[in-house]
Amino acid sequence: MTQLHHLDAVDQAAALQSREVSSVELVQHHLDRIVHHADALGAFITVTAELALERAAEADRCLAAGDAATFTGVPTAFKDLTFTAATPTSMGSRVMRGFVPPANAYVVDLVEKAGFISLGKTNTPEFGLSSYTDNDLIGPARTPWDTSRNAGGSSGGAAAAVAAGLVPLAQGSDGGGSIRIPASACGIFGFKPSRGRVSAGPLGSDWSGLAGDGPLARSVRDAAALLDAIAHPMPGDVRPLPAPPVPYAEWVGRPPGRLRIARWSATHLEGIAPGPDAIAAWESASALLESLGHDVVDIANPFPQALEPQFNVIWSSGIAGALIPPESDRLLRPNTRYWRERGRPASAVELSQALQFLELTTRQVVTDLQAYDAILTPTLALPPQPVEWFNESGDPAEDHHRELLFTPYTALYNMSGQPAASLPLHWSAEGLPIGVMLAGLPGQDGPLFSLCAQVEAAAPWHDRRPPGFA
């Protein structure tokens, strides 16, 4: 018999609608898995079992009355950077321990409107600053494929939870790769939407244009369904994209046609190159795309190295401007203090120049890429790394350098605003997941879903589960 946690969210919703299982049973099953695997994975900072079961009982009443939304009663989770009015939101920091936001993030309201039930808040690094997940609250999130290795960040807890079957899908956020990095490290599908596709309201801000919410899932159709739920602008959004005229769930069923796909593996950073596992995954994906009838064309990486220092001005200015009381600085992790110290000297002129440089430079890159329908690169340059690897030196500058060695590709699409996805198409000889990244042109999220679904159908990954978490 199929285990409940083997079903993706679409199949769980169908089982609930047909009354094969109740929401209380489904939610309790996943809560039991969270408890059983909590120590091994570090996936959740907060578990809201009582509230989830109350909502599951209400979901069952709605299902029985025929008054249910598409995903009524299906479990999920929110990243602990995402404001939830009824639940503490620590942002992975001791400074924020016990903080309960005054309102939900709009994305939370939309996910709940679709019928999903949150089981809690997933682990994240302090203020989401790192490409790995670790903090002083509960420690690291670990990939279920090898629990001695980090799950990636900053949506590491969400990715670990999905990969281990603690929830079928989860919300993540991505300002420099924070959905795609842990998706690769945990062997699942992660999708960063186009800039402006998902609202940051009502209390959040996308002032830099880098960050946005998106889905982490085991199937492309689940990711599309979650994005359908949250891709709705809120009044007052600074750079909204309209709600898509065609649901992403429909794009999943559309053949993409014959596409022209650019590929490169060289990074834009001098002295940083992909490892052999990343190259093997990229070459294998290239061959698969060609076998599907696509034209795969080698081009040079069009993003210049000059983007990196300007990105760092924006990144550090954001955390330097965070409203953290000076007396709380001592509670921050060294990595957080490092970025705040880098950002404090930046003037308004320097920040303005950095923002304009990113916009002008990536606009030209996107213009030059108009001849292509999609882009293929590695997701990460390295496999999932041991939990101590990033900060074992004790030097935050070395920590940052190792993050660049690990993830030199993902932040480029945050700068350009393009949609991008990590697909779990390859595993190393040691059994570690190695993702590849497909990106589309800005605003072309639907066609990218169509291509990803075609690739998934040709090389399915849904039934590949980490040993010990099946």
> What are the catalytic residues?
79, 154, 178
Q: How far apart are CA 79 and CA 141, in angstroms?
A: 12
Q: How far apart are CA 151 and CA 163, in angstroms?
A: 10
Using only the alpha carbons of the chain, give its radius of gyration: 21
Placement of tokens 């991505």 in the chain: 174
Buried b (16+ CB within 10 A) or exposed e, 371-410: ebbbbbbbbbbbbbbebebbbeeeebeebbebbbbbbbbb
3-class secondary-structure state, position 434: strand
Q: Specify burial of residue 50 (Cβ count, 10 A radius: 0-12, 13-18, 19+).
A: exposed
Helix H segments across 170-219?
A: 180-186
Q: Specify burial of residue 360 (Cβ count, 10 A radius: 0-12, 13-18, 19+).
A: exposed
Going by C-alpha positions, the residue among 255, 189, 241, 235 that lies closest to residue 421 is 189
φ, ψ of residue 27 to 5 degrees: the values are -65, -45
What are all long-range contacts of 98-102, with beta carbons under 8 Å and residues at least 24 apart? 101/203, 102/203
Going by C-alpha positions, the residue among 154, 172, 168, 147 that lies closest to residue 218 is 168
Q: Residue 175 is encoded by which pair of tokens?
A: 């300002």
Cis peptide before 184 (omega within 30 of 0): no
